[in-house]
């Protein structure tokens, strides 16, 4: 691409597409006052859509021969319920955890699925509509390619784990576990205090590591997928702007088709992995060391 006029170079094109629509300019690496408006709006709308679809399926469920929609939802519910039963053995906990796991799986899948929309479609619409409404010309539509979204989800799982640790084991029982696992304790007061400090630090490291890796795994895969779609879009742009662009256009079509088919597996697998890790972490919160 040429850099003259209004045309963007490949680097400028990618940088522009990787900027979020925010409420203010970020002033530091960690700035909790910055809100990625595009991620919040898209994820909220998809969350409402997911809840509505699941509510609709429950409302229209019949005891007779199910239709295709009901059958698909029932298969999904049975899959999540079987995974929850295998990990969480407390039936009362499953009444809350299993529906939440189902919602999380479908919600993350829908957020991931936004990556299947042509990379320039919604930003092109926003290019005209956004500035006209007083917003900046930035728009990203894959919430799970935003680290704020994925870490927010993983922190929510962490809070639920803390809740069930206290609910199942009691505050005193969990506090004792924090200072007695994984290395145990000792009858000797000196070694008991030393082991307690080490055990507590190891427990804190475990909680932090699980939470960060839980969110980073989903973010890394979706961010990489979004970036590949941008590179494929650049092939199409070269095909349109260069004299010998026929090969670039063919490469754009082939690469786009292959990556889209592969990415369908990726977005589904990532939603399933996030759900399963959430169930495993919650299951661990129910188990005593």
Active site residues: 213, 217, 221
Spatial CB neighbours of 263, under 8 Å, sequence gap ≥ 6: 115, 116, 225, 229
Instruction: Spell out the SS3 assignment of 197-243.
Output: HHHHHHHHHHHHHHHHHHHHHHHHHHHHHHHHHHHHHHHHHHHHHCC
**Could you tell me which residues are beta bridge partners of residue 22?**
36
- Print burial letters for 233-267: b (CB count within 10 Å at least 16), e (below 16): bbbbbbbeeeeebeebbebbeebbeebeeebeebb
Q: State the residue for tokens 């680290």.
A: 147
Contact 130, 136 (CB under 8 A): yes
**Residue 138 CB: number of other CB atoms within 10 A?**
19
Contact 162, 43 (CB under 8 A): no
Contact 119, 139 (CB under 8 A): no
Spatial CB neighbours of 60, under 8 Å, sequence gap ≥ 6: 69, 70
């Amino acid at each position: 691409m040429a850099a003259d006029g209004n045309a963007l170079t490949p680097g400028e094109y990618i940088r522009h597409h990787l900027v979020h629509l925010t409420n203010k300019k970020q002033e530091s690496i960690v700035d909790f006052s910055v809100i990625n408006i595009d991620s919040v709006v898209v994820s909220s709308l998809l969350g409402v859509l997911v809840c509505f679809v699941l509510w609709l399926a429950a409302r229209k469920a019949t005891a007779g021969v199910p239709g295709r929609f009901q059958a698909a939802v029932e298969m999904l519910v049975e899959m999540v319920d079987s995974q929850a039963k295998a990990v969480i053995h407390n039936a009362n906990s499953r009444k809350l955890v299993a529906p939440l796991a189902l919602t999380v799986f479908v919600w993350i899948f829908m957020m991931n699925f936004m990556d299947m929309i042509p990379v320039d479609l919604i930003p092109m619409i926003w290019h005209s509509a956004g500035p006209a409404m007083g917003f900046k010309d930035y728009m990203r539509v894959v919430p799970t390619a935003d680290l704020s979204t994925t870490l927010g989800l993983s922190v929510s799982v962490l809070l639920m784990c803390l809740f069930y640790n206290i609910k199942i084991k009691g505050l005193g029982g969990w506090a004792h576990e924090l200072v007695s696992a994984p290395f145990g304790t000792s009858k000797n007061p000196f070694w008991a205090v030393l082991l307690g400090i080490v055990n507590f630090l190891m427990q804190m490291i475990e909680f932090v590591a699980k939470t960060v890796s839980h969110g980073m795994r989903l973010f890394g895969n979706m961010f990489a997928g979004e970036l590949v779609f941008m590179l494929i879009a650049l092939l199409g742009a070269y095909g349109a702007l260069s004299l010998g662009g026929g090969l670039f256009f063919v490469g754009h079509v082939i690469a786009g088709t292959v990556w889209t088919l592969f990415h369908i597996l990726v977005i589904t697998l990532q939603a399933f992995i996030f759900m399963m890790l959430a169930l495993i972490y919650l299951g661990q919160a129910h188990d005593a060391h």
